Amino acid sequence: MPMASPLPTTASAPATILVIDDHPTNLTVAFEQLESQGFTVATAKTGVSGLQRARVTRPELILLDVMMPGMDGFETCQRLKADPTTQTIPVIFMTALNEVAAQIKGFQAGGVDYITKPIQIETMLARVKTHLQLHHLNQTLEQQVARRTEELSQTIAHLQNTQQELIQSEKIAVLGQLVASIAHEINTPLGIIQGATANILSAFHTTLQQFPTLWATLSPQQQTDFLALLHAALDQPESLSSQAERQLRQHLQTQLTDQGIAAARPIATQLTLLRINTPTPYASLLRDRQATTILAAACQIVMQYQNASHIQQEVERATKIVFALKTYSHQHQFAEYSWHPLTDGLEVALMLYQNRLKQGVTVHRQEAPKLPPIWCNPDEITQVWVNLIDNALYAMNQQGTLEIVIYAEGDRLIATLTDSGSGIPSDIQNRIFEPFFTTKPRGEGSGLGLDIVQQIMHRHQGEIAMTSAPGQTTFTLSFPLSPDQPTV
């Protein structure tokens, strides 16, 4: 049977493979063939010496003979799996025992696959490369998940430990109010990551136990069709509406029935899970007596990929939240001015308020193309956006529409923020920029928010204005595009 081309390994250095076999000829053949493929090869002639070599060389994979004098391969494998230093190394048995009972015993001992003797070189190399890649991918995924989870957990712990200290200023008082929602926003991807990791590990163990045997039963054409099926499934959208999924399943079942394929209904269900639109290219698989088993294996592999994608998406999401938090909470000892887009601070503010906004506020943004930057202290501009958005959310009671418009007009950059709240009573509109003036209940506001915004605008040679009526309050910010550039 021709060997299917395996995916290339991603390891940066040649993998080390330990071969344990008491037969010198077998050792020589395995050593030469593996070394010719660029692997580093270590050998041992007994189970005892094999255990010692495994601890010293820490190979990425072990080829282990079953029938050896003294300690046989099954016992050797059990001891490898009992040793913390070697228990994660995948073991492939080499055996002349074809009985199912012997194969089951090998898997129970901790083996991931087996090769029957006399050894077919192509089969051995294919199995070795497949399990090396699976081992490498699993290690990489576990390391990334552990690292990201630790980073996110540390961020949450830091937020909780420093909340009381941070609320000493108006800026940190706002951050203190946001801690709960930010922690929720970080916990959400953590939960998704945890669930996706559990799914991957479950599917991974199932694949390791069942896929090698299944793959060996497929013809070359079926192997080609199986890989094509995987690629087609990975190119499809992960989710469909219930109606679209039902229509696809009915369409597939009709096609399968017309083509005379048995078990049309369960096969249609599995193809629907894989988002395959037509069964015709995969006829060699679908007409096989174990078609449902083959499709189940494909679903397991696709699920691992999809869950890994979910992890990546959620890590990116959490990273953006942490970046926004760090950007907002960071404070220079001295003001640092430079040219920055006005929208940078807006993006940070919207990310910080993401959890509260999505509870019932629709955000409309209208920004002119190619907006010029402004000469500013970016930390203070972020503070302006945070204070205005916080006031708008309070005015709307978390329900309504927030409209943000930014455009250039002459030598000024203009930004307006309009909320659909109840409006500011006319008799207090002339007081809203006074320090310590607030309409919020005691404990919910210091009355410094708009005063701080006004001071920041003045330091940037800008202006702030407000108009208000029931159902529409607008704050207008105006920045010079060619200011006298302050250095502190």
| pLDDT in the model for residue 140 | 82
Cβ atoms of 95 and 114 within 8 Å: the answer is: yes
Q: What is the pLDDT of residue 198?
A: 74
- Please, where are the H alpha helices in 339-415? 342-352, 354-357, 378-396
What was the pLDDT predicted at 18?
A: 94
pLDDT of residue 404: 96
What pLDDT does 270 receive?
Answer: 86
Q: Which of 9-13, 129-133, 436-440 has the highest mean pLDDT?
A: 129-133
pLDDT of residue 54: 93
Give the separation between CA 327 and CA 345, rounded to whole angstroms. 9
- Give the least confident one: 1-5, 235-239, 450-454, 467-471: 1-5
Work out the average pLDDT over 192-205: 72
What pLDDT sits at residue 3? 41
**Token pair for 308:** 């890994």
* Strand-pair partners of 44: 20
Residue 487 is predicted with a pLDDT of 43
| pLDDT, greater one: 376 or 306 | 376
The share of the chain scoring above pLDDT 90, in percent, equals 26
pLDDT of residue 118: 83
Give pLDDT, residue 485. Answer: 60
3-class state of residue 486 by DSSP = coil
Query: How many other CB atoms are found less than 10 A from the CB of residue 148?
Result: 19
Average pLDDT over residues 82-97: 88
CA proximity to 95, closest of 105, 83, 108: 105
Q: Kindly list the domain boundaries of the chain, sorted by start residue.
A: 16-119, 135-309, 338-480
DSSP string, 190-249: HHHHHHHHHHHHHHHHHHHHHHHHHHHHS-HHHHHHHHHHHHHHHTS-S---HHHHHHHH
Quote the pLDDT of residue 161: 57
How is domain 16-119 classified at the architecture level of CATH?
3-Layer(aba) Sandwich (3.40)
| pTM of structure | 0.41
pLDDT tens per residue, range 156-178: 667 555 433 433 455 555 555 55
Q: Answer yes or no: is pLDDT of 213 > 70.
A: yes
* pLDDT band of 410, cuts 50, 70, 90: very high
CATH architecture classification, 338-480 = 2-Layer Sandwich (3.30)
Structure confidence at residue 322 (pLDDT): 67
Model confidence at 324, pLDDT cuts 50, 70, 90, reads low
| Token pair in block for residue 438 | 């607030």
Mean residue pLDDT across the chain: 81
| Better-scored residue on pLDDT, 52 or 154 | 52
Inform me whether the pLDDT recorded for 254 exceeds 80: yes
Rg (CA), the chain: 32
Q: In sequence order, what E strands does 368-459 have?
A: 374-376, 400-409, 412-419
pLDDT per position as a tens digit, 335-362: 578 899 999 989 988 888 887 888 889 9
Query: Which pLDDT band holds residue 11 (cuts at 50, 70, 90)?
Result: very low
The per-residue pLDDT for range 30-67, each reduced to its tens digit, is 898 898 988 999 999 999 999 999 999 999 999 999 88
Residue 288: its pLDDT value, please?
A: 87
The predicted model gives 219-247 an average pLDDT of: 85
Q: What single DSSP character describes residue 2? A: P
Q: In what order do the strands lie in the sheet with 61-65?
A: 40-44, 16-20, 61-65, 91-95, 113-116
pLDDT band at 199 (very low <50, low <70, confident <90, very high): confident
pLDDT tens digits for range 271-321: 888 888 888 888 888 888 888 888 888 888 888 887 777 777 677 666 666
